[in-house]
Structure 1
């Protein structure tokens, strides 16, 4: 819970079936791919390398296949295209919330499974079989991807364009989560949160959904929040209900064998109260 990547509301996915470096920001990639990654990083866009699950094939002379996702607005969108070179993709349009001219809107979501072995062996060991299993169900919508954050939650599943994160996924759990997302819903089981939102507010959303049973992707919104020390106070609209939710961080020692962290931070619910609906006075007749 509350562990989705905070700095990711805009996404650039670049298909590349060659060897992935441990860290994309080091730009140890072919020039065209490295240049695209560099341009994305300069604009605050989250770059990911992707490839189809299964057999590795190298593409030559076909341009760069890309997908871009905009998850910052009330109506997230996903688009795809093939560009001749790294400077032919208008990333400034993406930042502005506009579909780049070289891309076409997609009407189906995509699902990313982290399989980045050079970043963490568990991601490949657990993620690769999951990616293959999902690709048997949705062969055109599933991609292996580079590091998404939270290696200890492998296998990780990301649903775009909203940036919905799930972790510790089994085949059955992943299929259920993907089916729910295709229907515009979220399953709280193994739900890590939504990317691009501060972790305390991810926790606030989680507790609000658990309390109300609201599962629609877009039905929960934090209207306001304030930080009092390490305690977060938030007003949340959850469907037709408004809640006051208070959470605080809680760290605990990682279980023996957990990788990438000695301690794990989660959030504890301090209080949750339903707010009275706003009542408007009826004007007196004169």
Structure 2
């Protein structure tokens, strides 16, 4: 039986802290069109043997596999294999698409090194993933399915339902590729605002979980600098260096705005938020608090 909330409405309103919760391990992605059904965990997915081998190979290489389908669709073709691959790292993330008669023809080693695999074609439009994985958590289906249908009607061709993205407690979850921007507790209005902002190269801080592939304390540091400066461009804020000092993390964060470039010393500390609803989703949520934020250099124009 899928997990879910005793009082789901109280857990997914965006009132609980959501920052710095993007999936750390998702730096490279393998997205496979598969109509379902989707078992709760990746090692339980019932897939054709060659597709199963591809998923296992991706996992062994540190690539995040996801099964995807069009909103409301349950009739995805079995062949040829339709995949997207994405790299969320660096200053120039990319998304590419490919069709393969034989899954082993997809060179995942190139993807690991941030190179577009042969026979895949770069995609210029963004991709929006909505977790609808009800076998993993009932809230992901209850909240994710209507959101996926809504976005699919408004952003035709760019929206896919997907398996577990990480952070069921934040359903409905939305991920913007190729940059791997995570949003949670999304209403329809919040989701369309985030999608439209991403299409213009920006983030929306409301319900922004962070960017995939970055350690959580660094996600927190970037978030606090964005809040302080108002800088919302996707690439406008980045941690340049960091170190741990006991339970705290000290970062130097670069902020590049239209007015110029600045650097900030940011110190974040882990803390715990106790949920008021007492649900099975999470009695406590680990998050971060800002201990210090200090500008190191004035804006250089």
In the other structure, the counterpart of 2:270 is: 249
In the other structure, the counterpart of 1:97 is: 114
For the residue of structure 1 that corresponds to 2:55, the secondary structure is helix
- The CA RMSD over aligned residues, in Å, is 1.4
1:267 correspondence with 2:284:
no
Offset of 1:72 from its aligned partner? 1.4
From 249, 260, 272, give the equivalent of 1:232.
Answer: 249
The 5 Å alignment of 1:1-286 reads 1-60=19-78, 62-239=79-256, 240-277=261-298
For the residue of structure 1 that corresponds to 2:272, the secondary structure is strand
Offset of 1:32 from its aligned partner? 2.7
* In structure 2, distance between residues paired with 1:20 and 1:257: 29
* In structure 2, distance between residues paired with 1:104 and 1:188: 32
* In structure 1, distance between residues paired with 2:96 and 2:154: 21
Divergent runs of 4+, >4 A: none
Higher alpha-carbon Rg: 1
In the other structure, the counterpart of 2:14 is: none
TM-score normalised per structure 1: 0.94
* In structure 2, distance between residues paired with 1:45 and 1:88: 16
TM-score normalised per structure 2: 0.89
CA displacement, residues 123-157 of structure 1 (integer Å, 9 cap, x when unaligned): 00000000000000112110000000110100000
Q: Does the Cα contact within 8 Å between 1:115 and 1:145 map onto a contact in 2?
A: yes
Structure showing greater relative contact order (alpha-carbon pairs closer than 8 Å, 6 or more residues apart): 2
Offset of 1:261 from its aligned partner? 2.5
Gaps (5+ residues) in structure 1? 280-286
Go from structure 1 to structure 2 and tell me whether the alpha carbon gap of 1:214 and 1:270 turns closer, same or farther (over 3 Å shift). Answer: same
Offset of 1:246 from its aligned partner? 0.6
